[in-house]
Structure 1
Amino acid sequence: MDEFMDDQHWGGSLFPTSTLIPVTIICLLLFIVGVTGNTMTILLIQRFKDMKTTTNLYLSSMAVSDLVIFLTLPFDLYRLWRYVPWVFGELVCRLSHYLHEGCTNATILHITVLSMERYLAICFPFKAKAAISKRRVKYVILALWGFALLSAAPMFFLMGVEYENETMHDPNTRQCKHTRYAIDSGLLHTTIWVSTAYFFCPMFCLLCLYGAIGRKLWKSRHELHGPNAEARQRVHRQTVKILAVVVLVFAVCWLPYHIGRFLFTHVDDYHSARLSQDFNVASMVLFYFSASVNPVLYNLMSNKYRSAVKRLFVLPRILHHRPDQRHLSSRDDITACTETFTGVKETIVSTVSH
């Protein structure tokens, strides 16, 4: 693709300043929100015992993945502003793309397995209670990370420092990009197909799981009885809407990323190269948006998360100014963050992260 774009450099970049500045501002804002929110998520789950549920163990692991993803943001912004020369060396080039791919795979796997757990918890609650334990979830998380990082290993061979002129190794023409070996050997196409499978297979799985959950909630709407039946029905209807948003956000954030990769392998003229680059920029913004949006969704959808945030920041301040309240028991503390609804809401709200 580079040969189509060489005559369109703007001071070492492939994009004009009118594109670079707003994209950079958006990414920096996402960086602040993402790092702050995901760090807070990890602290909440690690600090408060009542937050250490099996679902939150997945969410904590995903927060770690999102934090590592944000470590690659400075290098993406550098390549956006200075396509040439690459000044960080071979190892940083390969490692940044490896972490990028490995954490992406880990996040997608976490979303899929978490959705499976929610399906079991809602459709088969008694079996799920017996089968799902914190210890087993920790083993599953380790397996997910191992598989994700292993499947991302080809990135070490796919990316590297290349020169515009292979016979003249001019330092000013160094680029961090797909190696000639990866293109000639077919490794690039294979990696793209694997990455595409990482999107469409989980997407199909999510649609099936959430469709089954929606049918289960719809069929059970008349089975609710008692004074709170109407309120619980409203919660069920809201849950179905939340699940639809989960799938929609997943598709919107990840589909352009894979379209851009697909276009990259079919570049044969300037216009297709420009279209591929535009998709790459849009997908980069959405990629970091997906890594930062989870804590925002937790705050919007989960009473328990909001209450935990208050305990983390507000309660210590109150106790500092009111020594006579230091004897508040842990039981009172936990009660203060209990969900306003019971049953299905506590189960479903946990899935709102994705």
Structure 2
Amino acid sequence: MAGLFNSSRSSNSTEVLGNLTSRYVRAYLETGGPLTQGELSAVSAAYGAVFLVGVLGNLLVAVVLLKVPHMRNPTNYLLLNLSVADLLFLLVCMPVSLIETWVSFPWILGEFVCYFSPYMEFVTFHASTLTIMVISVERYYVICKPLHCKETLTGRFIASVLVVLWPAAFITSLPVLFITRFRQIDSVGPEPLYTCETDSTFWAKVYLLSSAAVFYFLPIVLLSGCCLVISRHLNTPDIQPSVGQRAAMDNRIRSRKQVTYMLLAVAVLFFICLLPYRSTLLGLMYAPQEMMQLMGNKGLLILIIICRIMVYINSTVNPILYNITSTKFRRAFKQAIGITAGNETSRTGTGNETNNTRRMHARRRSTAV
């Protein structure tokens, strides 16, 4: 989020930044940024907590699929892909955002990071959105067209989808490299000063608006439609089971509902957390300069920090949602980290002792008769 939000803040004031004299630059550097030391420490603590929980949680999803064989299915491979995108986002973009919060002006991370960080930000956003769209379609086929699903949604098919998905995310994010600008401004001392900005040109606005439409608003419509159809199908199954099959079918429907609700929660949270980011990014692009001046540097920076934390929270809470909404995932998480090994052994031992006791009683009764 480095290049885009930092630059969006300055995109409507590029002329001002370009005409800064050394006197004004020196005054800015001497007075420090708009946030106090205490506020910066609080933001850093929040960033650190979100980063730690997010990295560990998303790594644990990969560990679950590696160590628990029965969790390896197409849906969970898609969730693993979502965790990969979240990990990339946290590891690449979050440290840059934290440094930028502490030193909001000038840009101190160099030209490569200026272009690479916002580019990877959009790559991970697009990959996450495409993954959620694939998950919604996969759920539709699993629940509404189960016979067709067995022939189509194989592991090989999901792998081929992911092979196409990531190049699509990288390609559709390429325009970010062309609307980002690494600029040199007046220097205070011997070292030059730089800013990392986003152009506010017509084509920059077109791309950001198109990205929001294709990778935010359109997926919401698709997801809503799939969820509506899936909900109707789960509540009114096509096949009426016999008395003997009813219990098995009820369990199957309950399991499918649980997975569907889990994926729905992931998708809803994704779109809610990205709404402030998308809205603010477009607002900074189209808002008049007077409105930005009215908010002031501190107000604008606080708004940007809130948007960033919302997006980082989204990349953090998915593994927590899996544990809350899915019994299978909760058991698999425990099994992956070795929590249930002793409990299951004790339960197995108790079961064996109970069976042996029952056999002994049966033998005693038969002897007595």
TM-score interval w.r.t. the shorter chain? 0.7 to 0.9
* 2:279 corresponds to 1:259: yes
2:141 matched residue in structure 1: 120
Which string of whole-angstrom CA distances, capped at 9 and with x for unpartnered residues, describes residues 305-344 of structure 1?
Answer: 222222222269759xxxxx8xx9xxxxxxxxxxxxxxxx
Change (3 A) 1:235 1:22: same
Which string of whole-angstrom CA distances, capped at 9 and with x for unpartnered residues, describes residues 219-250 of structure 1?
Answer: 23994663577777777877776566445323
Contact in 1 for aligned 2:258/2:325 (Cα 8 Å): no
Q: Structure 1 residue 279: deviation in Å?
A: 3.5
Which string of whole-angstrom CA distances, capped at 9 and with x for unpartnered residues, describes residues 168-200 of structure 1?
Answer: 99846422222xxx334x332122113212100
1:271 matched residue in structure 2: 294
Contact in 2 for aligned 1:159/1:176 (Cα 8 Å): yes
SS in 1 for 2:236: helix
1:79 matched residue in structure 2: 100
Q: Is the deviation greater in 78-87 or in 305-314? A: 305-314
Contact in 1 for aligned 2:143/2:256 (Cα 8 Å): no
SS in 2 for 1:13: coil
Aligned partner of 1:314: which letter? G
Aligned partner of 1:292: which letter? T
* 2:171 corresponds to 1:155: no
Mapping of residues 1-354 of structure 1, within 5 Å: 1-2=9-10, 3=13, 12-17=32-37, 19-71=39-91, 72-165=93-186, 171=191, 173-178=193-198, 182-184=199-201, 186-197=202-213, 198-220=215-237, 223=240, 226-227=246-247, 245-267=265-287, 268-269=289-290, 270-271=293-294, 277-314=301-338
SS in 2 for 1:87: coil
Q: Structure 1 residue 81: deviation in Å?
A: 1.4
Rounded to whole Å, the distance in 2 between the matches of 1:160 and 1:12 is: 24
Rounded to whole Å, the distance in 1 between the matches of 2:257 and 2:57 is: 28
SS in 2 for 1:293: helix
- Percent identity of equivalent pairs: 25
Change (3 A) 1:188 1:301: same
SS in 2 for 1:265: helix
SS in 1 for 2:106: coil
Which string of whole-angstrom CA distances, capped at 9 and with x for unpartnered residues, describes residues 1-41 of structure 1?
Answer: 43499899695434444543333222211111110011111
Which string of whole-angstrom CA distances, capped at 9 and with x for unpartnered residues, describes residues 253-288 of structure 1?
Answer: 111111101111123211256665444222111111
Contact in 2 for aligned 1:38/1:295 (Cα 8 Å): yes
Contact in 2 for aligned 1:123/1:216 (Cα 8 Å): yes
Q: Is the deviation greater in 47-56 or in 255-264? A: 47-56
Change (3 A) 1:9 1:116: farther
TM-score (structure 2 length as normaliser): 0.75
Which string of whole-angstrom CA distances, capped at 9 and with x for unpartnered residues, describes residues 65-91 of structure 1?
Answer: 111101211100111111122222101
Where does the alignment leave 5 or more consecutive residues of structure 2 unmatched? Answer: 1-8, 18-23, 349-369
Q: Is the deviation greater in 82-91 or in 146-155? A: 82-91
- Matched positions, count: 317
Where does the alignment leave 5 or more consecutive residues of structure 1 unmatched? Answer: 320-324, 329-354
Higher relative contact order structure (alpha carbons within 8 Å, sequence separation ≥ 6): 2
Q: Is the deviation greater in 279-288 or in 229-238? A: 229-238
Q: Structure 1 residue 209: deviation in Å?
A: 0.7
Rounded to whole Å, the distance in 1 between the matches of 2:257 and 2:113 is: 48
Aligned partner of 1:220: which letter? P
Contact in 1 for aligned 2:234/2:253 (Cα 8 Å): no
Change (3 A) 1:293 1:170: farther
Aligned partner of 2:310: which letter? L
Contact in 1 for aligned 2:54/2:315 (Cα 8 Å): yes
Higher Rg of the two aligned structures: 2
SS in 1 for 2:308: helix
